[in-house]
Each structure stands twice: as C-alpha cells, then as structure tokens.
Amino acid sequence: MEGVKNYLSDMDGVLVRGSTIVPGAAEFVKRLRDQEIPFLILTNNSQYTPRDLQVRLAYIGLDVPKESIFTSALATAQFLHSQRPSGRAYVIGESGLTTALHDIDYIITDQDPEYVVLGETTTYSFQRITQAIRFIMKGARFIATNPDPMGPGEGGTVPATGAVAALISAATGIKPYYIGKPNPLMMRTALRKLNAHSEETVMIGDRMDTDMISGIESGLRTILVLTGVTSREQVERFPYRPTWIRDSVADIEI
C-alpha cells in the first residue's frame, strides 16, 4: 500500500452487514484514527444524516466521528449548491436528504420547483410520486441520490431509489442524473472534503459495479473485500480489476 495516505470506504458489506459489524472493522477504523490517517465512510443511502449513522454504528460497536461519514445526500446537496445556489426543490426522501438541502439554503417546496430530488424513503407515496412526475413533465430537472434498485430492509430486500426513479422515468421519458456511486462525482466530492489527491487515496468496497468502477474512474487505487456481494471468482467476469483483493478490512495493511 505504498503511497496511500487517505482512505475512502464503502459501509455496507465492508464495515457492516445489515445491523452486524464485520469482524475486524472496528479495529481497522481504530488504526486509522490512532494514526490520524484521513478517511471517509461513503454510503449511497440518503435516508440518514451523518449524526444518525454515527449513533447507529456506535450501537453495534463501530466508533466513527460524524465528520467521517459522507452520504449521497450530502453529495447531492453539494452538487445542487454548485449548480444553482439557493434553489427550490420538490423532495421525496427522509431527513438525511432534507437536512442536507436545508443546510445549503435550499427551499423544499411543492410550488414551482426547479428540481425534483429523489432519495431513499421507507414511505414512498403514490401521490408524491405522481406530483414528481407532473413537475418533471412541466420542466423540473430530475435528480436522484443514487441508482441502487434494491437495498436491505427489515425482513429482506426493499425497493430503493433506482427502482422508483425507473418508475418516474417510464412515466416521463426523462432519466435522472444520479449523484451517488458509481458516478465519479461522489468520489471527487469526497476527495475535496478530505483535501486529498486521487493518486494518494484508495477506495475500499465490496461491489465491482459501484465501488470499484467509481474508484477506478476517479483515478484511485482500489481494494475489493470479500465480505459483501462479490466473490473472488466473480471478479474475473468484469473487464476491469481492483488493485488489491483482501478477504476483509481486517487484512488491509496500513
């Protein structure tokens, strides 16, 4: 790992699996903190604020500062602020997304919004989806926090942002601009937050089609861990490869 000074890491499948900590993850994060190595934990899930996630992680034994958690909601807010400061948005999502937008002085409204912003929620409303469709057909720009079609939920998988975005796209003929992984925009935004250079940063993830490709396209070295959805055999099916493969974060040398 010569030359690696900063770490970006996916959360689910790397540090946690659902509501269970991955063995060795707490020790890995502690090593980063003890050595004062800059790091960010990235998640495509826009439901929760960093403070919410900090508490949820602490409950299962993972001690992470909220400043070291970076969500697709935060990346979405920063993108909108750079494009159209103090704009107006119709939002489908939870507090993680609405708080991020409020923090950049966005107005959340159902009166002539400039953007429709779609994120994760456990209470998708047909009425609100219909309203979003109408706003987009009237010219509102369509933004989605991430393209993930499914995610973990109580009792099994649940439809996520990408699935609902597909429904809206089918009705409007308009595809959203996705902010989260694998869009390199999220990685670039995270690097700026760390004040880090891509050549000195590594991306840790468990998915070839999001974590690894977003790292590669952002000029980062990559580490695939085998504690999530990708097996060692599946790596060979892809036209790109991670820089390193490790069984888990416990095996990453710092």
Active site (catalytic) residues: 10, 12
Three-state SS for the chain is: CCCCCEEEEECECCCEECCEECCCHHHHHHHHHHCCCCEEEEECCCCCCHHHHHHHHHHCCCCCCHHHEEEHHHHHHHHHHHHCCCCEEEEECCHHHHHHHHHCCCEECCCCCCEEEECCCCCCCHHHHHHHHHHHHCCCEEEECCCCCEEEECCEEEECHHHHHHHHHHHHCCCCEECCCCCHHHHHHHHHHHCCCHHHEEEEECCHHHHHHHHHHCCCEEEEECCCCCCCHHHHHCCCCCCEEECCHHHCCC
Are 121 and 93 contacting, i.e. CB atoms less than 8 angstroms apart? Answer: yes
Within 13 Å, how many C-alpha atoms sit on residue 137's CB side?
12
Of residues 98, 83, 91, 155, the one with CA closest to residue 124: 91
> Which residues pair with residue 151 across a beta bridge?
158
Strand-pairing partners, residue 203, are 8, 222
